[in-house]
Amino acid sequence: MSIRTTPCAGSPSPGTSPAGPEIPDLPLVSARLEAWYPSAARELPWRSERSGYRALVSELMLQQTQVSRVVERFASFMARFPTLRSLADAPEQEVLAAWQGLGYYRRARFLHRAAEAIRDMHGAEVPDNVAALAALPGIGRYTAGAIASIVFGQAAAIVDGNVLRVLSRLADHETRMGDPAAERWAWRESTRLVQVASAPGVTNEALMELGATVCTPAAPRCDACPLAAQCAGRASGRAASIPTPRRSAARRTLYWHSFVHVDEHGVLLTERPAAGLWAGMLQPPTIESDTPMDVAVLSTTWGMPVNKVAQFTHVTSHRTVEFTVLVSASECTPAIAGTHRVPLELLESVALSNAAWRVMECAGVPVKTPLSASAGRRAPRAARSAPTDS
């Protein structure tokens, strides 16, 4: 399954020149990419109609999220917020609710704040240049370059994991994903490429498409590549081993103990803190700890007997969360500070993480989740091989 990757942030410091080879014949590279792309491009909903707003939404959605997942959610999000002004004017909780199923909710907040800034500073029109785009909340060099080039035809460079991989293989340059020096080199080469491209936006989209569908991490299909004749990595036989994968960060394990209570008035929910994982979203009352807690201790903490009904593991980019799901063992109505009931029929209109949906499912709450129950069970996979900018 193709995935989008994460943007790369590195850019050369003033007065420095990134080490690494220059890719030869860049005008030919660009011409071949532009000739290949129209027939090779996948049909994706945000490509059917170009606008700065649609590009802004799709670019934020595609960071760290599988393309197939974004395809499932893009149309409904655009139906709910058909214009930038409608998004900017909406309450944040409404935006988070519409984002359900995509994960990484910080991006939804950035999108909302960027829309507010565009409404207030640019008359609700997405700016057409990198400097103005990069000044928006949550928009870095990669995202700004993608919008400026693809929508407005600007000669703006982009580097994400797909682009870094294609460029590294073209040059037979030994790079490592996530390495700042490699990213600086890739930004230099990407800038050189768009400066000679007749259609910078098409060249950029073709680079990303090539990395997502042909020049893939583990098994590049060199026989189907429009750049095969120019690829130094293919000639050396090292293409499949370039670049080196990024070093894995240590993953922290947390233990969350979630209490689910449902009655004729709805489900008992509480709001998460304003910072941290799933910030500001709703969830069943939860006690977090660094070690598992005994049911008897949890019963004392909540002031009523509880029974454990399920356990599951939820993996995020930097954490493993071990969930224990508990329900009341008596007919008592719990009195837990900071909670309120949400009717079942209104659950889809509030901001709940995939993990919170699964907690309720495990407790037998008759809920209709926004996506399949498996949505939060997989370890997230990098989408757009990591934009190196935000």
Q: What is the pLDDT of residue 383?
A: 41
pTM: 0.79
Phi, psi for residue 161 in degrees, rounded to 5:
-60, -40
For residues 148-169, give the mean pLDDT. 96
Does pLDDT of 386 surpass 90? no
Does pLDDT of 377 surpass 60? no
User: Which amino acid, 346?
Assistant: L
- Provide the pLDDT confidence category of residue 389 given band limits of 50, 70 and 90: low
Q: What is the pLDDT of residues 309-336, one digit of tens each?
A: 999 999 887 889 999 999 988 777 777 8
Q: Is the dihedral of CA 386, 142, 216, 102 positive or negative?
A: positive
Q: What is the pLDDT of residues 56-84, one digit of tens each?
A: 999 999 988 889 999 999 999 999 999 99
Q: What is the pLDDT of residue 366?
A: 82
Q: What is the pLDDT of residue 15?
A: 36
Residue reference for tokens 């060249």: 203
Which token pair is 304?
């009523």
Spatial contact of 129 and 151, defined as CB atoms under 8 Å apart: no
- Provide the pLDDT confidence category of residue 164 given band limits of 50, 70 and 90: very high
Q: What is the pLDDT of residue 347?
A: 87
- Provide the pLDDT confidence category of residue 380 given band limits of 50, 70 and 90: very low
Question: Which residues 6+ apart lie within 8 Å of 389 measured at CB?
Answer: 7, 8, 9, 140, 141, 142, 143, 144, 159
Q: Which domains does the chain have, with CATH numbers?
A: 26-241 (1.10.340.30), 252-376 (3.90.79.10)
Q: What is the pLDDT of residue 280?
A: 84
Q: What is the pLDDT of residue 1?
A: 42
Is residue 59 part of the annotated active site? The answer reads: yes
Q: Which of 59, 116, 183, 205 is catalytic?
A: 59
Spatial contact of 213 and 197, defined as CB atoms under 8 Å apart: no
Render 20-73 in DSSP notation, one character per residue.
SPPPS-HHHHHHHHHHHHHHH----GGGSS--HHHHHHHHHHHTTSBHHHHHHH
Does pLDDT of 167 surpass 90? yes
Separation CA 140–CA 263 (nearest Å): 46
- Provide the pLDDT confidence category of residue 348 given band limits of 50, 70 and 90: confident
Q: What is the pLDDT of residues 173-209, one digit of tens each?
A: 999 998 999 999 999 999 999 999 999 999 999 999 9
